Amino acid sequence: DGDIPSITYGWSDGTEGDTLTFPEGAVAGDTYTCTATATDPDGGFATATATATATNYAPVVESVTISPAPAYNDDTLVCVAAITDADGETPSVLYEWTGGATGDTLPLTSIIAAPGDTFTCTATATDAAGATAMGTGSITIGNRAPSLNLVISPETPTKHDTLSCTATDAVDPDDDAISIDWTWTIDGADTVATTVSEESVTLEGTFEAGDSVACTGVIRDGHGGSASATASVTIRNTAPVVSDVTLTPTEVYTNDTLTASADSTDAEDDPLDVTYRFFVGTDIVQEGSSNTLDGSIHFDKGDEVYVH
């Protein structure tokens, strides 16, 4: 008729108006029907409907992080996923690790992890409508250096001793197999070891009193970790021993010559210089390398003569 009808809108949930905001609690699959009614000035009218179905947005895994960092093979790894959902839902999350373990934590031991190994955590988020999203994070297991201490025995060696250098407290915190490289030096100059074993090394027969002998061990773990330690000793000198000192003849007269004899030894077999000090009474009458004393010069009848 050329009239301009008026139009009213109503929604299936009772809301009036040409717009509808999905109500709180709406979920994917819910349907909302709009009914439009056109009415002309003469009371004639007609209706039509259209239906909208709420769709679902899949969750989004923004990031996946693993801590601690750095991590070692005796740590417990913790996986955390940052997840958003446009529908305002809180999706459930499944965590799965390299090797098949599930859960947001993974306790490590040296049996299942070694320095350089990489562990990946996969986070799968699922919302109420069954939509999923995945994300991954990875971490590489770090390496810690081994350590050791060295002890040289004997502690106060002489030139004839065999020195033994032993590694004590040789450990690797990652339980890696370790090896030790050994070096001996005498007064800073390298020398060849007599024997070498896994945990000790020996050196013998090349010393002089006063030498500074050092042993250095470098411990390695096979993953690039290493440490070194050094122990040193000074070769000591043992004083010579004088024993069985005698004067001859045992019956001596004024003009006789006394001869001193002494047994002298040295533990290091060093050459010895023997000095004789002759006394007449309390006075020193002769001192030096000579082991004889002329009575015509130095003593008279009744004098007491002794040698030191």
Question: Phi and psi dihedrals of 195, rounded to 5?
Answer: -140, 155
Q: DSSP letter at 177?
A: -
| CA dist., res. 171 & res. 35, Å (int) | 81
| CA dist., res. 283 & res. 304, Å (int) | 10
Per-residue pLDDT of the chain (308 residues; tens, 9 = 90+): 888 999 999 999 888 999 988 776 677 778 899 999 999 998 899 999 999 988 888 999 999 999 999 999 999 999 999 999 988 889 999 999 999 999 999 999 999 999 999 999 999 999 988 999 999 999 999 999 999 999 999 999 998 899 999 999 999 999 999 999 999 999 999 999 999 998 999 999 778 899 999 999 999 999 999 999 999 999 998 889 998 899 999 999 999 999 999 999 887 788 899 999 999 999 999 999 999 999 999 999 999 999 99
Q: Which two tokens stand for residue 133?
A: 């999203």
Residue 143's contacts (CB-CB under 8 Å, 6 or more residues apart) are 115, 116, 174, 176, 221, 223, 224, 225
